[in-house]
């Protein structure tokens, strides 16, 4: 089980972004303001530690939208638990609003 207290702020921010609905690398980068050299290795590490799960989009969906397939990320149960613990440690994470609220605004 992951000890949420040990997550760095950057890791927690990335988890929060994914939890908020920014589910592929580019949007995580955009919403957190972190560079690609930080976000992508972090996503890999979180995937390895089973805090998130990654999955490639079906090629047919990407072809229909005339764009390359995306790799989507989703929080796992332990990822959600780690995020909940991190929110207590880093209250400012709440400022990173879920994607629905951004779209509604």
Partner 1 sequence: MRSEWLQCTILRAASILVPSDQRAEWLHGWQSELWYITRRGATLFCLGAFRDALWLRRNSVSPVKRSRIRLESPLNCLAFLTTGAAMSVFIALRLPTPHLTPPLHLRAGDLTADYIATLMLSFAYLLALRMAIGRAAANPQPVSWRGRLRLWIFLGLKIALVQPIMFCGLAVMLVIGPVVPVAPHLGVVAIWFLTLRWIFTDQQRRCPLCLRLAIDPVRIGTPSQTFLGWYGSESMCPRGHGLLHVSEMSASYSENPHWLYLDNSWRSLFVGSAGRRQS
Q: 1 is written with which tokens?
A: 């089980």
> How far apart are CB 98 and partner 1 at their closest, in Å?
21
d(CA 88, CA 96): 14
Q: 96 is written with which tokens?
A: 């990173």
Nearest to 41 by CA among 84, 4, 49: 49
> Measured from the CB atom, is 35 or 91 closer to partner 1?
35
> How far apart are CB 78 and partner 1 at their closest, in Å?
11
Of residues 66-105, those binding partner 1 (CB under 8 A):
67-71
Binding site for partner 1 (CB under 8 A): 2-3, 6-8, 10-11, 24-26, 29, 35-42, 44-45, 48-49, 67-71
């Amino acid at each position: 089980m992951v000890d949420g207290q040990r997550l760095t702020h950057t890791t927690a921010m990335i988890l929060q972004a994914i939890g908020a609905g920014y589910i592929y690398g580019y949007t995580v980068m955009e919403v957190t303001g972190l560079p690609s050299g930080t976000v992508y290795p972090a996503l890999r590490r979180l995937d390895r530690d089973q805090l998130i799960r990654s999955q490639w989009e079906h090629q047919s969906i990407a072809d229909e939208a005339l764009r390359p397939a995306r790799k989507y990320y989703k929080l796992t149960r332990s990822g959600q638990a780690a995020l909940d613990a991190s929110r207590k440690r880093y209250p400012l994470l709440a400022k990173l609003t879920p994607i629905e609220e951004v779209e509604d605004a």
